[in-house]
Amino acid sequence: MRPITKFPIGTEVTLDNGSAHVIKAIYNPYQEAKEPLCINLGQYCVYCEAPFAYTRGLEVEHILPKDPALGYSHLQYNWDNFLLGCPTCNGKGNKSNKVELPENCHFPHLNNTFISLKYDSGGVVVVNPELQGRSYQKALRLLKLAGLDKTPATSSPQDKRWQYRKKEWAIAEKFKARYENGKCDLDSLIDYIKIAGCWSIWFTVFDEHDEVKARLISDFPGTAVECFNADNHYCPVERNPGADDPV
């Protein structure tokens, strides 16, 4: 999962209509935060990384849910409580009925979630087996929270995320062969990935190509640059070194 960095409150951005906008602490209604979030993070679900052209289908995702019955409705307008989610990752029956506190779960704006999860052949997502203890448990909660562990046997008929990942993995492998044979240039490759989404799949498949990984980090808005070591083949590094959970 792509680690991200959110704009601090007070950051000035340019909206699609050309007007200046300063990131606010409070957005009421919270839907008004959607365009600033898309400028910050790109038009992708932060969990499944699916693309949403022109933001259609993307939702302002509440890290702690806005449902009054769950006790966090006082945070429903707070910029610090917002991410971007697709209807499936954020929808009823998946994330909306679950509560995970940031101190108990990995989140892409707080942790290096590319370390948290591992993407395997076919787009299968699992907890990184190298993690231990608290780091492993928090990564597992992230996997369950977003429902990225669902398979054809466990998904609802409407949940096609596994299918999309499987398709994108196969396409990434084909593009890798074309790229290595000189039949696809770097700019064209990156242009396609921006349309396709699934950042973590492409970063994994192109692991041996530093120039591709560098562009994936620089060209996708909001990617947490500090989570990758440019001096060591863009290897993912701990985001919270020295903490009880350094990931």
**Token pair of 7 as six digits:** 């704009």
Handedness of CA 18, 23, 27, 31 (dihedral sign): positive
Neighbouring C-alpha atoms within 13 Å toward the C-beta of 150: 23
pLDDT of the residue at 158: 81
What is the distance between the alpha carbons of residues 43 and 148, in angstroms, rounded to a whole number? 19
pLDDT of the residue at 96: 53
- Tell me the pLDDT band of 53, cut-offs 50, 70 and 90: confident
Dump pLDDT digits (tens) for 184-207.
999 999 999 999 999 999 999 999
pLDDT of the residue at 133: 97
The mean pLDDT value for 10-15 works out to: 98
pLDDT of the residue at 124: 94
Q: Which residue has the higher pLDDT, 90 or 222?
A: 222
| E strand or H helix that includes residue 12 | strand 12-14
pLDDT of the residue at 55: 58
The mean pLDDT value for 56-68 works out to: 89
